[in-house]
A and B are shown apart, each in its own frame.
Chain A
Amino acid sequence: MTEEIIWNEVRKNIAEILPSVDVNGIKSNDRLVDLGANSVDRVEIVTLTLEGLNLTIPPHELAKANNLGDLVEILLKKASL
């Protein structure tokens, strides 16, 4: 799985949950909260992404992500195991 595939999945799910966000402008230091996501939006986006990538990562590991770049890195690391 490439980093690009993961980013595409993340962007797709952000667009699904936050339709007003321009996902093409998203950068790795963006935080979901700054894009307007509330706590439920955030876990919805993450859960959809895990499902889309067929990954399983416990919540306490995902909680280490401080921005979207961190999230993609955690997902990529898990996908590479």
Chain B
Amino acid sequence: MTKALITGIGITTAIGQGKDSFVESLLAGKDSFGIMQRQGRQKAGLSFIGAEISNFTSSKRLDERLSRRLSFCSQLTVATLEEAWDEARLDEVAPEKIALVIGGSNLQQRELVNTTEAYTNNPLYVKPSYSISLWDTDLCGLCTEVFPIRGVAYSIGGASASGQVAVMHAVDVVESGRFDVCIAIGAMTDISYLECQALRNVGAMGSTRYAEEPPLACRPFDQHRDGFIYGEACGVVIVESIRSATSRKAKPYGKVLGTATVLAGNRNPNPDLESEIAVIDKVLDQSKLSSKNIDYVNPHGSGSIVGDTTEINAILSSDLSNAFINTTKSITGHGLSAAGAVEIIATLLQMRTGQLHPSRNLITPEVNSINWVSQQCVSHKVEIALCLSYGFSGINTALCLENGLQ
């Protein structure tokens, strides 16, 4: 059984920056969807629905000189880490005992498109700093420059499961005993119109059906869904050894009981039912739990037409009938590499508040034999939660969390 605690979280999404604002909006099922406006998501004749962050406040640890030249993705990372860092009081931990893993790859495609468009006619004058920001590990450099992190720092990928892969890896790092703390960041995947259109063309991204009604577009598990809807997000999870957290008297949100990955052996984006069932079996086994112990599932639930059906079948096959299920992506949109971390955070905050958030637009669920939290919040003290994430290329991951208030 895995033994690692989560002692701090940071969150920035379109529905709120910081956990207080985030959880309030989550429980209210706040709508933040619209036609995306950010530079680099615009192209004549194209229009994409998503949840973009507005009213963002940058970290107080960044001086003006650094701040004005950082990309949006970088600013988001530092501000979100700052919240988690301060909550976990990581200034108390020796810098050499703190590790960092960034979940996600090719994080700043929108910056790439903007740079390409600005310098296509005269590449001689491309900004020298682009040679630095093009690496995902630029975020490692930035975070370790701003915060005293001197253990290891690197990035790890798993497509849309990246955020959960990062948290799972952080658990492994802490369990190895080499470091007391490993910070897992589900980094923002900052996509451009090209990624949006490619994801639409492959059949993953919606919504052409609700093109005129953005608030209705994001509807995981609903019969009228037509694909995932993007949402800007970053989530930071501080994973800490029980020994370290106990000695510092840190107050954990929860304990990671087990983690699992099952590979479908498939380069394509399509889901695989057998693998999705197998990863649930595997994480329950790792966590020494039965399916009846799970009283809340935070599913991948992207709104994908085939993906959601497959996930429902995996959940039904796994006899998770004691569990409530809602869908965080219905409110935040799909944060891609951030999603897995954002959803672990949403799970922990629901544990702490004793409330399960509604699922936006889950009006006609594909099946009724699941304990959906649909239009209204449900009061429920989650004891043990199961979080699921899936990524292109056959990546299926699962993680079990125990409520830290127990």
Q: Is A50 an interface residue when CB atoms closer than 8 A count as contact?
A: yes
Q: B residues within 8 A CB of A30?
A: none
* Complex contact A40–B128 (CB within 8 A): yes
Given A18-B65, A20-B65, do A51 and B129 touch, yes or no (CB 8 Å)?
Answer: no
A25 at the binding interface (Cβ < 8 Å)? no
CA distance A51 to B44 in the complex (A): 28
- A74 — which chain B residues lie within 8 A by C-beta? none
* Nearest opposing residue in chain B for A43, CB measure: B128
Most buried by A among B65, B126, B129, B132: B65
Within 8 A of B (CB), among A17-67: 17-20, 40, 43-44, 47-48, 50-51, 56
Most chain-A CB neighbours within 10 Å: which of B68, B69, B125, B132? B125
**Complexed CA–CA distance, A20 and B67 (Å):** 13
A-side interface residues, number (CB < 8 Å): 12
Within 8 A of A (CB), among B97-138: 122, 124-129, 132
Q: Is the CB of B128 within 8 A of A56?
A: no
Complex contacts, B69 vs chain A, CB 8 Å: 17, 44
Contacts of B122 in A (CB 8 A): 51
How long is the Cα–Cα vector from A48 to B132 in the complex, in angstroms? 17
Query: A56–B65 contact, CB under 8 A?
Result: no
A47–B127 contact, CB under 8 A?
yes
Instruction: Give chain B nearest CB distance to A78 CB in angstroms.
Output: 13
Q: Report the bound CA distance from A11 to B299 in whole Å.
A: 54
The answer to whether B132 and A51 touch across the interface, beta carbons within 8 angstroms, is no
Residues of B within 8 A of A44 (CB): 69, 127-129
* A56: contacting residue among B68, B124, B126, B132, CB under 8 A: B124
Interface residues of B (CB under 8 A from A): 64-65, 68-69, 122, 124-129, 132
Ranked nearest first, the 7 interchain pairs of A and B with the lowest CB-CB distance are: A51-B125, A43-B128, A19-B64, A44-B128, A47-B128, A40-B129, A19-B65
Q: List 23 A-B contacts (CB under 8 A).
A: A17-B69, A18-B65, A19-B64, A19-B65, A20-B64, A20-B65, A40-B128, A40-B129, A40-B132, A43-B128, A44-B69, A44-B128, A44-B129, A47-B125, A47-B126, A47-B127, A47-B128, A48-B125, A50-B124, A50-B125, A51-B122, A51-B124, A56-B124
